[in-house]
Structure 1
Protein backbone atom coordinates (compact mmCIF):
# COMPACT_ATOMS: atom_id res chain seq x y z
CA UNK A 1 0.00 0.00 0.00
CA UNK A 2 1.21 3.52 -0.75
CA UNK A 3 0.09 7.07 -0.13
CA UNK A 4 0.95 10.47 -1.60
CA UNK A 5 0.44 13.97 -0.17
CA UNK A 6 1.37 17.46 -1.27
CA UNK A 7 1.94 20.50 0.93
CA UNK A 8 3.38 23.98 0.62
CA UNK A 9 6.24 24.31 3.08
CA UNK A 10 4.75 27.36 4.80
CA UNK A 11 7.52 29.62 6.16
CA UNK A 12 5.25 30.84 8.97
CA UNK A 13 4.87 27.31 10.29
CA UNK A 14 8.64 26.80 10.14
CA UNK A 15 9.14 30.02 12.11
CA UNK A 16 6.63 28.75 14.69
CA UNK A 17 8.77 25.63 15.15
CA UNK A 18 11.86 27.81 15.45
CA UNK A 19 10.11 29.74 18.22
CA UNK A 20 9.04 26.51 19.95
CA UNK A 21 12.67 25.37 19.93
CA UNK A 22 13.95 28.71 21.21
CA UNK A 23 15.59 29.60 17.90
CA UNK A 24 15.58 32.96 16.14
CA UNK A 25 12.64 33.16 13.73
CA UNK A 26 14.55 33.63 10.49
CA UNK A 27 13.00 31.37 7.84
CA UNK A 28 11.50 33.10 4.83
CA UNK A 29 10.19 31.95 1.47
CA UNK A 30 12.92 30.20 -0.51
CA UNK A 31 15.16 29.57 2.49
CA UNK A 32 16.39 26.04 3.21
CA UNK A 33 14.58 24.30 6.04
CA UNK A 34 16.61 22.79 8.89
CA UNK A 35 16.78 19.00 8.86
CA UNK A 36 13.63 17.21 10.07
CA UNK A 37 11.45 20.31 9.86
CA UNK A 38 9.36 18.40 7.31
CA UNK A 39 7.70 16.76 10.34
CA UNK A 40 5.45 19.81 10.74
CA UNK A 41 4.02 19.42 7.23
CA UNK A 42 1.91 16.81 5.39
CA UNK A 43 -0.82 16.65 8.01
CA UNK A 44 -3.34 13.82 7.58
CA UNK A 45 -6.34 14.95 9.68
CA UNK A 46 -9.15 12.51 10.37
CA UNK A 47 -12.58 13.20 11.90
CA UNK A 48 -13.14 12.01 15.49
CA UNK A 49 -14.96 8.85 14.39
CA UNK A 50 -11.82 7.63 12.66
CA UNK A 51 -9.52 8.13 15.65
CA UNK A 52 -8.39 5.42 18.03
CA UNK A 53 -8.50 5.66 21.81
CA UNK A 54 -4.96 7.10 21.83
CA UNK A 55 -5.83 10.05 19.57
CA UNK A 56 -4.01 8.67 16.53
CA UNK A 57 -5.97 7.71 13.39
CA UNK A 58 -7.23 4.14 13.75
CA UNK A 59 -4.96 1.52 12.25
CA UNK A 60 -6.32 -0.45 9.34
CA UNK A 61 -8.14 2.50 7.71
CA UNK A 62 -5.13 4.09 6.05
CA UNK A 63 -1.54 3.26 5.31
CA UNK A 64 -0.76 1.48 8.60
CA UNK A 65 -2.29 -2.01 8.93
CA UNK A 66 -4.17 -3.11 12.04
CA UNK A 67 -1.63 -5.13 14.01
CA UNK A 68 -4.11 -5.97 16.80
CA UNK A 69 -2.17 -4.18 19.56
CA UNK A 70 -3.23 -0.88 21.18
CA UNK A 71 -0.06 0.98 22.21
CA UNK A 72 1.95 2.79 19.54
CA UNK A 73 5.50 4.07 19.85
CA UNK A 74 7.82 5.72 17.34
CA UNK A 75 10.83 3.52 18.07
CA UNK A 76 13.33 5.15 15.75
CA UNK A 77 14.21 5.91 12.18
CA UNK A 78 16.79 6.73 9.59
CA UNK A 79 17.07 9.66 7.17
CA UNK A 80 19.11 10.48 4.11
CA UNK A 81 19.33 14.14 3.12
CA UNK A 82 19.91 14.50 -0.63
CA UNK A 83 19.37 18.26 -0.72
CA UNK A 84 17.56 20.94 1.27
CA UNK A 85 13.82 21.36 1.29
CA UNK A 86 12.95 25.03 0.81
CA UNK A 87 10.25 27.05 2.50
CA UNK A 88 7.37 28.42 0.47
CA UNK A 89 7.59 25.75 -2.25
CA UNK A 90 5.15 22.90 -2.80
CA UNK A 91 6.50 19.44 -1.95
CA UNK A 92 5.25 15.90 -2.46
CA UNK A 93 5.58 13.13 0.11
CA UNK A 94 5.29 9.54 -1.14
CA UNK A 95 4.91 6.88 1.56
CA UNK A 96 4.89 3.08 1.50
CA UNK A 97 4.79 0.32 4.08
CA UNK A 98 8.17 -1.28 3.60
CA UNK A 99 7.77 -4.15 6.03
CA UNK A 100 5.74 -5.50 8.96
CA UNK A 101 6.55 -8.18 11.52
CA UNK A 102 5.26 -9.70 14.77
CA UNK A 103 7.42 -11.05 17.57
CA UNK A 104 7.08 -12.22 21.16
CA UNK A 105 9.03 -9.97 23.51
CA UNK A 106 9.79 -10.22 27.22
CA UNK A 107 6.67 -8.17 28.01
CA UNK A 108 4.36 -9.83 25.49
CA UNK A 109 3.64 -9.66 21.75
CA UNK A 110 5.14 -6.87 19.67
CA UNK A 111 4.35 -5.69 16.16
CA UNK A 112 6.73 -3.69 13.98
CA UNK A 113 5.90 -1.47 11.02
CA UNK A 114 8.50 0.31 8.90
CA UNK A 115 7.35 3.15 6.66
CA UNK A 116 9.47 4.70 3.92
CA UNK A 117 8.83 8.31 2.94
CA UNK A 118 10.33 10.15 -0.02
CA UNK A 119 9.91 13.92 -0.08
CA UNK A 120 10.48 15.78 -3.33
CA UNK A 121 10.43 19.37 -4.59
CA UNK A 122 10.52 20.33 -8.25
CA UNK A 123 10.50 16.62 -9.10
CA UNK A 124 13.74 15.91 -7.20
CA UNK A 125 13.85 13.76 -4.06
CA UNK A 126 15.30 15.81 -1.23
CA UNK A 127 14.77 13.52 1.78
CA UNK A 128 14.33 9.77 2.20
CA UNK A 129 13.10 8.70 5.63
CA UNK A 130 12.47 5.33 7.23
CA UNK A 131 10.13 5.43 10.23
CA UNK A 132 10.03 2.47 12.65
CA UNK A 133 6.82 2.04 14.67
CA UNK A 134 6.24 -0.51 17.44
CA UNK A 135 2.87 -1.68 18.73
CA UNK A 136 2.41 -3.52 22.03
CA UNK A 137 -0.14 -4.49 24.67
CA UNK A 138 -1.15 -2.35 27.62
CA UNK A 139 1.13 -2.87 30.62
CA UNK A 140 -0.03 -5.19 33.39
CA UNK A 141 -0.55 -3.32 36.68
CA UNK A 142 2.11 -5.41 38.43
CA UNK A 143 4.55 -5.53 35.51
CA UNK A 144 8.10 -4.49 36.48
CA UNK A 145 9.46 -1.42 34.76
CA UNK A 146 12.17 -2.19 32.19
CA UNK A 147 15.66 -1.14 33.18
CA UNK A 148 16.85 1.56 30.75
CA UNK A 149 20.43 1.69 29.51
CA UNK A 150 22.81 4.20 31.03
CA UNK A 151 23.96 6.97 28.74
CA UNK A 152 27.64 7.63 27.99
CA UNK A 153 29.35 10.51 29.79
CA UNK A 154 32.24 11.13 27.37
CA UNK A 155 30.57 13.74 25.16
CA UNK A 156 32.47 16.54 23.42
CA UNK A 157 29.48 18.89 23.46
CA UNK A 158 26.26 18.94 25.43
CA UNK A 159 23.17 21.16 25.69
CA UNK A 160 20.64 21.05 28.53
CA UNK A 161 16.96 21.25 27.60
CA UNK A 162 13.76 21.57 29.58
CA UNK A 163 10.39 20.73 28.07
CA UNK A 164 7.24 21.16 30.16
CA UNK A 165 3.62 20.95 29.11
CA UNK A 166 3.61 24.08 26.93
CA UNK A 167 6.49 23.02 24.69
CA UNK A 168 4.98 19.55 24.32
CA UNK A 169 1.60 21.05 23.42
CA UNK A 170 3.12 23.38 20.83
CA UNK A 171 5.11 20.57 19.21
CA UNK A 172 2.00 18.34 19.11
CA UNK A 173 0.06 21.17 17.47
CA UNK A 174 2.73 21.92 14.87
CA UNK A 175 3.05 18.24 13.91
CA UNK A 176 -0.71 17.61 14.22
CA UNK A 177 0.15 14.73 16.56
CA UNK A 178 -2.94 13.77 18.54
CA UNK A 179 -1.26 11.06 20.64
CA UNK A 180 -2.70 11.56 24.11
CA UNK A 181 0.47 10.51 25.95
CA UNK A 182 1.85 13.98 25.15
CA UNK A 183 -1.00 16.09 26.63
CA UNK A 184 -3.50 13.93 28.56
CA UNK A 185 -1.89 13.13 31.92
CA UNK A 186 -4.67 10.79 33.11
CA UNK A 187 -4.49 8.77 29.91
CA UNK A 188 -0.69 8.66 29.84
CA UNK A 189 -0.37 7.46 33.43
CA UNK A 190 -3.59 5.51 33.89
CA UNK A 191 -3.86 3.71 30.54
CA UNK A 192 -0.38 3.51 29.06
CA UNK A 193 1.47 3.33 32.37
CA UNK A 194 3.93 6.20 32.02
CA UNK A 195 5.14 8.31 34.94
CA UNK A 196 3.93 11.55 33.33
CA UNK A 197 3.43 13.11 29.93
CA UNK A 198 5.89 11.73 27.42
CA UNK A 199 8.28 14.05 25.59
CA UNK A 200 7.98 13.28 21.88
CA UNK A 201 10.68 11.03 20.49
CA UNK A 202 10.78 13.08 17.25
CA UNK A 203 11.31 16.22 19.33
CA UNK A 204 14.41 14.66 20.93
CA UNK A 205 15.53 13.51 17.47
CA UNK A 206 15.02 17.05 16.15
CA UNK A 207 17.28 18.50 18.83
CA UNK A 208 19.93 15.86 18.17
CA UNK A 209 19.81 16.60 14.43
CA UNK A 210 20.21 20.32 14.95
CA UNK A 211 23.23 19.70 17.17
CA UNK A 212 24.72 17.28 14.64
CA UNK A 213 24.21 19.74 11.78
CA UNK A 214 25.95 22.47 13.79
CA UNK A 215 28.91 20.27 14.67
CA UNK A 216 29.32 18.78 11.18
CA UNK A 217 28.51 21.89 9.16
CA UNK A 218 25.83 19.93 7.29
CA UNK A 219 23.96 16.65 7.52
CA UNK A 220 23.94 13.79 5.01
CA UNK A 221 22.45 10.99 7.06
CA UNK A 222 21.02 10.46 10.52
CA UNK A 223 19.72 7.41 12.40
CA UNK A 224 18.12 7.31 15.83
CA UNK A 225 16.58 4.85 18.27
CA UNK A 226 14.42 5.56 21.32
CA UNK A 227 15.68 3.62 24.35
CA UNK A 228 13.67 5.03 27.29
CA UNK A 229 10.84 7.57 27.67
CA UNK A 230 11.53 11.08 28.97
CA UNK A 231 8.77 12.73 30.99
CA UNK A 232 7.61 16.31 30.47
CA UNK A 233 8.97 17.49 33.85
CA UNK A 234 12.43 15.99 33.34
CA UNK A 235 15.32 17.91 31.80
CA UNK A 236 17.49 16.21 29.22
CA UNK A 237 21.05 16.65 28.04
CA UNK A 238 21.48 16.51 24.26
CA UNK A 239 24.99 15.18 23.71
CA UNK A 240 27.48 14.95 20.84
CA UNK A 241 30.73 13.03 20.47
CA UNK A 242 33.14 13.90 17.70
CA UNK A 243 32.87 10.42 16.12
CA UNK A 244 29.30 11.34 15.06
CA UNK A 245 27.57 9.60 17.97
CA UNK A 246 24.79 11.39 19.82
CA UNK A 247 22.42 10.66 22.69
CA UNK A 248 19.77 12.17 24.93
CA UNK A 249 20.50 11.69 28.63
CA UNK A 250 17.84 11.88 31.31
CA UNK A 251 18.35 13.46 34.74
CA UNK A 252 19.18 10.10 36.35
CA UNK A 253 21.77 9.29 33.68
CA UNK A 254 19.56 6.98 31.64
CA UNK A 255 19.84 7.01 27.86
CA UNK A 256 16.55 8.11 26.32
CA UNK A 257 17.72 8.11 22.70
CA UNK A 258 20.83 7.09 20.77
CA UNK A 259 21.78 8.39 17.34
CA UNK A 260 24.49 8.63 14.74
CA UNK A 261 25.12 11.32 12.13
CA UNK A 262 27.35 11.92 9.16
Structure 2
Protein backbone atom coordinates (compact mmCIF):
# COMPACT_ATOMS: atom_id res chain seq x y z
CA UNK A 1 0.00 0.00 0.00
CA UNK A 2 1.16 3.48 -0.78
CA UNK A 3 0.40 5.94 2.02
CA UNK A 4 -1.45 9.01 0.82
CA UNK A 5 0.90 12.00 1.04
CA UNK A 6 -1.18 14.75 -0.58
CA UNK A 7 -2.30 17.69 1.51
CA UNK A 8 -5.97 17.83 2.56
CA UNK A 9 -8.19 20.03 0.41
CA UNK A 10 -10.55 22.45 2.14
CA UNK A 11 -13.59 23.92 0.36
CA UNK A 12 -16.44 26.12 1.57
CA UNK A 13 -19.91 26.45 0.08
CA UNK A 14 -23.34 27.77 0.98
CA UNK A 15 -25.87 24.98 0.49
CA UNK A 16 -28.04 26.80 -2.04
CA UNK A 17 -31.69 25.63 -1.90
CA UNK A 18 -32.12 26.34 -5.63
CA UNK A 19 -29.58 23.67 -6.51
CA UNK A 20 -31.32 21.14 -4.27
CA UNK A 21 -34.65 22.02 -5.92
CA UNK A 22 -33.10 21.47 -9.36
CA UNK A 23 -31.98 18.03 -8.21
CA UNK A 24 -35.50 17.25 -6.98
CA UNK A 25 -36.89 18.18 -10.40
CA UNK A 26 -34.29 16.03 -12.20
CA UNK A 27 -35.31 13.08 -10.00
CA UNK A 28 -39.01 13.64 -10.71
CA UNK A 29 -39.84 15.09 -7.28
CA UNK A 30 -41.70 18.25 -6.32
CA UNK A 31 -39.19 21.07 -5.71
CA UNK A 32 -40.25 21.81 -2.14
CA UNK A 33 -36.90 22.29 -0.36
CA UNK A 34 -36.15 25.71 1.06
CA UNK A 35 -33.81 27.58 3.44
CA UNK A 36 -33.11 25.76 6.73
CA UNK A 37 -34.66 22.51 5.45
CA UNK A 38 -32.66 19.33 6.02
CA UNK A 39 -30.68 18.28 2.96
CA UNK A 40 -31.75 14.82 1.74
CA UNK A 41 -29.10 12.10 2.02
CA UNK A 42 -26.35 12.29 -0.62
CA UNK A 43 -27.56 15.65 -1.96
CA UNK A 44 -24.26 17.07 -0.70
CA UNK A 45 -22.88 15.78 -4.04
CA UNK A 46 -24.39 18.94 -5.52
CA UNK A 47 -21.98 21.20 -3.64
CA UNK A 48 -18.25 21.78 -3.16
CA UNK A 49 -17.50 21.86 -6.89
CA UNK A 50 -13.85 21.64 -7.96
CA UNK A 51 -13.67 23.39 -11.34
CA UNK A 52 -10.48 23.07 -13.37
CA UNK A 53 -9.55 25.02 -16.53
CA UNK A 54 -9.58 23.11 -19.84
CA UNK A 55 -5.84 22.58 -19.65
CA UNK A 56 -6.23 20.99 -16.23
CA UNK A 57 -8.55 18.22 -17.44
CA UNK A 58 -7.64 14.68 -18.41
CA UNK A 59 -8.89 13.02 -21.57
CA UNK A 60 -11.91 11.67 -19.65
CA UNK A 61 -13.14 15.11 -18.57
CA UNK A 62 -12.10 14.75 -14.91
CA UNK A 63 -9.47 17.09 -13.41
CA UNK A 64 -6.01 15.64 -13.99
CA UNK A 65 -4.70 13.44 -11.22
CA UNK A 66 -1.63 14.41 -9.27
CA UNK A 67 -3.16 16.64 -6.59
CA UNK A 68 -5.43 15.13 -3.97
CA UNK A 69 -5.52 11.92 -6.04
CA UNK A 70 -2.03 10.61 -6.84
CA UNK A 71 -1.13 9.73 -10.42
CA UNK A 72 -1.12 5.94 -10.51
CA UNK A 73 -0.36 5.77 -14.25
CA UNK A 74 -3.71 4.27 -15.30
CA UNK A 75 -6.25 6.15 -17.47
CA UNK A 76 -9.72 4.72 -16.71
CA UNK A 77 -11.47 5.89 -13.55
CA UNK A 78 -14.46 4.18 -11.94
CA UNK A 79 -16.33 4.99 -8.73
CA UNK A 80 -16.40 1.53 -7.15
CA UNK A 81 -18.41 2.33 -4.05
CA UNK A 82 -18.56 4.27 -0.85
CA UNK A 83 -19.56 4.52 2.79
CA UNK A 84 -21.35 7.34 4.55
CA UNK A 85 -21.91 8.32 8.16
CA UNK A 86 -24.76 10.78 8.72
CA UNK A 87 -24.09 12.14 12.22
CA UNK A 88 -26.04 15.41 12.09
CA UNK A 89 -28.38 17.03 9.55
CA UNK A 90 -27.04 19.39 6.90
CA UNK A 91 -29.30 22.42 6.48
CA UNK A 92 -29.93 24.37 3.32
CA UNK A 93 -28.91 28.00 3.10
CA UNK A 94 -26.19 27.57 5.74
CA UNK A 95 -22.44 27.78 4.96
CA UNK A 96 -20.54 24.50 5.20
CA UNK A 97 -16.96 23.32 4.79
CA UNK A 98 -15.72 20.08 3.28
CA UNK A 99 -12.23 18.80 4.08
CA UNK A 100 -11.00 16.04 1.77
CA UNK A 101 -8.19 13.57 2.45
CA UNK A 102 -6.61 10.83 0.35
CA UNK A 103 -6.53 7.98 2.86
CA UNK A 104 -4.83 5.35 0.74
CA UNK A 105 -3.59 4.59 -2.77
CA UNK A 106 -2.68 1.04 -3.75
CA UNK A 107 -1.53 -0.46 -7.05
CA UNK A 108 -1.94 -4.19 -7.75
CA UNK A 109 -1.96 -6.60 -10.66
CA UNK A 110 -5.21 -8.50 -11.17
CA UNK A 111 -6.50 -11.01 -13.71
CA UNK A 112 -7.33 -8.17 -16.13
CA UNK A 113 -4.05 -6.31 -15.65
CA UNK A 114 -2.82 -3.54 -13.36
CA UNK A 115 -5.33 -1.85 -11.05
CA UNK A 116 -5.08 1.10 -8.70
CA UNK A 117 -7.35 1.62 -5.70
CA UNK A 118 -7.78 5.05 -4.13
CA UNK A 119 -9.81 5.88 -1.03
CA UNK A 120 -10.88 9.46 -0.36
CA UNK A 121 -12.43 10.69 2.87
CA UNK A 122 -14.59 13.83 2.98
CA UNK A 123 -15.71 15.47 6.20
CA UNK A 124 -18.51 18.04 5.90
CA UNK A 125 -18.78 20.50 8.78
CA UNK A 126 -21.58 22.97 9.39
CA UNK A 127 -21.66 25.41 12.33
CA UNK A 128 -18.74 23.58 13.96
CA UNK A 129 -20.34 20.12 13.78
CA UNK A 130 -19.15 17.28 11.54
CA UNK A 131 -22.43 16.34 9.90
CA UNK A 132 -21.43 13.87 7.18
CA UNK A 133 -18.32 11.75 6.66
CA UNK A 134 -18.02 10.07 3.29
CA UNK A 135 -15.49 7.57 1.99
CA UNK A 136 -15.19 7.20 -1.80
CA UNK A 137 -13.54 4.12 -3.29
CA UNK A 138 -12.11 4.77 -6.77
CA UNK A 139 -10.56 2.25 -9.15
CA UNK A 140 -8.19 3.05 -12.01
CA UNK A 141 -7.35 0.58 -14.76
CA UNK A 142 -5.96 0.28 -18.29
CA UNK A 143 -7.98 0.82 -21.45
CA UNK A 144 -9.96 -2.29 -22.42
CA UNK A 145 -8.52 -4.85 -24.81
CA UNK A 146 -11.12 -5.34 -27.59
CA UNK A 147 -10.00 -8.96 -27.97
CA UNK A 148 -10.33 -9.82 -24.28
CA UNK A 149 -13.33 -11.66 -22.92
CA UNK A 150 -15.67 -9.43 -20.92
CA UNK A 151 -16.06 -10.39 -17.27
CA UNK A 152 -19.35 -12.06 -16.36
CA UNK A 153 -21.29 -9.86 -13.90
CA UNK A 154 -22.85 -11.39 -10.80
CA UNK A 155 -26.52 -12.36 -10.82
CA UNK A 156 -28.84 -10.27 -8.65
CA UNK A 157 -31.08 -11.78 -6.02
CA UNK A 158 -34.85 -11.83 -6.64
CA UNK A 159 -36.27 -12.03 -3.12
CA UNK A 160 -37.03 -8.33 -2.69
CA UNK A 161 -39.95 -7.15 -0.56
CA UNK A 162 -40.10 -3.79 -2.34
CA UNK A 163 -39.06 -2.69 -5.83
CA UNK A 164 -39.03 0.55 -7.81
CA UNK A 165 -38.61 0.50 -11.59
CA UNK A 166 -36.61 3.39 -13.04
CA UNK A 167 -35.63 4.38 -16.55
CA UNK A 168 -32.72 6.61 -17.51
CA UNK A 169 -32.02 8.70 -20.58
CA UNK A 170 -29.25 10.94 -21.87
CA UNK A 171 -31.02 14.08 -20.61
CA UNK A 172 -31.13 12.84 -17.02
CA UNK A 173 -27.47 11.81 -17.16
CA UNK A 174 -26.54 15.23 -18.54
CA UNK A 175 -28.52 17.05 -15.84
CA UNK A 176 -27.00 14.94 -13.06
CA UNK A 177 -23.51 15.53 -14.47
CA UNK A 178 -24.19 19.28 -14.55
CA UNK A 179 -25.64 19.44 -11.04
CA UNK A 180 -22.70 17.50 -9.55
CA UNK A 181 -20.12 19.17 -11.84
CA UNK A 182 -19.01 15.74 -13.03
CA UNK A 183 -17.21 16.02 -16.36
CA UNK A 184 -16.64 12.29 -16.91
CA UNK A 185 -17.36 11.76 -20.59
CA UNK A 186 -18.76 8.24 -20.18
CA UNK A 187 -21.99 9.87 -18.98
CA UNK A 188 -22.67 12.18 -21.96
CA UNK A 189 -20.24 11.42 -24.83
CA UNK A 190 -21.43 8.17 -26.39
CA UNK A 191 -18.61 7.75 -28.97
CA UNK A 192 -16.05 8.21 -26.20
CA UNK A 193 -17.88 5.79 -23.89
CA UNK A 194 -18.04 3.12 -26.61
CA UNK A 195 -14.78 3.57 -28.50
CA UNK A 196 -12.33 4.57 -25.75
CA UNK A 197 -13.65 3.04 -22.54
CA UNK A 198 -15.43 0.06 -24.11
CA UNK A 199 -18.95 0.50 -22.72
CA UNK A 200 -22.14 -0.43 -24.54
CA UNK A 201 -23.52 3.12 -24.30
CA UNK A 202 -23.71 5.98 -21.84
CA UNK A 203 -23.09 4.82 -18.29
CA UNK A 204 -25.54 5.72 -15.54
CA UNK A 205 -23.56 7.35 -12.73
CA UNK A 206 -22.87 5.01 -9.85
CA UNK A 207 -23.71 7.80 -7.37
CA UNK A 208 -27.04 8.35 -9.14
CA UNK A 209 -27.92 4.68 -8.58
CA UNK A 210 -26.81 5.03 -4.95
CA UNK A 211 -28.88 8.22 -4.62
CA UNK A 212 -32.06 6.39 -5.58
CA UNK A 213 -31.24 3.56 -3.17
CA UNK A 214 -30.66 6.02 -0.32
CA UNK A 215 -33.96 7.78 -0.92
CA UNK A 216 -35.71 4.41 -1.11
CA UNK A 217 -34.10 3.32 2.16
CA UNK A 218 -34.94 6.58 3.93
CA UNK A 219 -38.60 6.37 2.83
CA UNK A 220 -38.90 2.86 4.27
CA UNK A 221 -36.60 2.98 7.29
CA UNK A 222 -36.50 6.62 8.35
CA UNK A 223 -33.47 8.93 8.60
CA UNK A 224 -30.22 7.17 7.75
CA UNK A 225 -27.29 6.88 10.16
CA UNK A 226 -25.02 4.81 7.92
CA UNK A 227 -25.09 3.70 4.30
CA UNK A 228 -22.65 1.75 2.16
CA UNK A 229 -22.75 0.72 -1.48
CA UNK A 230 -20.67 -1.19 -4.00
CA UNK A 231 -20.91 -1.07 -7.79
CA UNK A 232 -20.67 -4.49 -9.43
CA UNK A 233 -21.65 -3.86 -13.09
CA UNK A 234 -22.54 -0.76 -15.12
CA UNK A 235 -26.11 0.14 -16.07
CA UNK A 236 -26.52 1.77 -19.49
CA UNK A 237 -28.73 4.82 -20.10
CA UNK A 238 -31.00 2.80 -22.41
CA UNK A 239 -31.72 0.15 -19.75
CA UNK A 240 -34.38 -0.11 -17.07
CA UNK A 241 -33.13 -0.61 -13.53
CA UNK A 242 -34.96 -2.45 -10.77
CA UNK A 243 -34.25 -0.84 -7.40
CA UNK A 244 -34.85 -3.49 -4.76
CA UNK A 245 -35.00 -3.66 -0.98
CA UNK A 246 -35.35 -6.40 1.61
CA UNK A 247 -34.96 -5.14 5.16
CA UNK A 248 -31.80 -3.04 5.23
CA UNK A 249 -30.30 -4.72 2.15
CA UNK A 250 -30.72 -2.92 -1.17
CA UNK A 251 -29.58 -3.62 -4.71
CA UNK A 252 -30.01 -2.63 -8.36
CA UNK A 253 -30.90 -5.35 -10.86
CA UNK A 254 -30.38 -4.84 -14.58
CA UNK A 255 -32.90 -5.93 -17.22
CA UNK A 256 -30.97 -9.17 -17.84
CA UNK A 257 -30.88 -10.04 -14.13
CA UNK A 258 -27.30 -8.88 -13.50
CA UNK A 259 -26.38 -7.20 -10.23
CA UNK A 260 -25.39 -3.58 -10.87
CA UNK A 261 -25.06 -2.34 -7.28
CA UNK A 262 -25.44 -3.68 -3.78
CA UNK A 263 -25.98 -1.56 -0.68
CA UNK A 264 -26.89 -1.64 2.98
CA UNK A 265 -28.63 1.00 5.08
Q: Say which of 179, 193, 213 aligns to 2:198.
A: 193
Q: Say which of 250, 255, 258 aligns to 1:254.
A: 258
Q: Match for residue 206 of structure 1?
A: 211
Structure 2: segments with no counterpart, 5+ residues: 1-6
Q: Say which of 153, 159, 167 aligns to 1:154.
A: 159
TM-score, structure 2 as length reference: 0.97
- Which deviations, in whole Å up to 9, do the C-alpha atoms of 1:77-101 show, x marking residues without a partner? 0000001111111100001011111
Distance 1:185 1:150 in 2: 26
Quote the RMSD (CA, aligned, Å): 0.5
SS at match of 1:68: coil
- Counterparts of 1:27-106 in structure 2, within 5 Å, are 27-60=33-66, 62-106=67-111
TM-score, structure 1 as length reference: 0.98
SS at match of 2:96: strand
SS at match of 1:132: strand
Q: Say which of 5, 13, 16 aligns to 1:7.
A: 13
Deviation above 4 Å: which 4+ runs of structure 1?
Answer: none
Distance 1:56 1:173 in 2: 13
Q: Say which of 183, 206, 212 aligns to 1:178.
A: 183
> What is the total number of aligned residue pairs between the two structures?
259
Structure 1: segments with no counterpart, 5+ residues: none
- Which deviations, in whole Å up to 9, do the C-alpha atoms of 1:189-227 show, x marking residues without a partner? 000000000000000000000001111111000000000
| CA shift for structure 1 position 56 | 0.2
SS at match of 1:159: strand
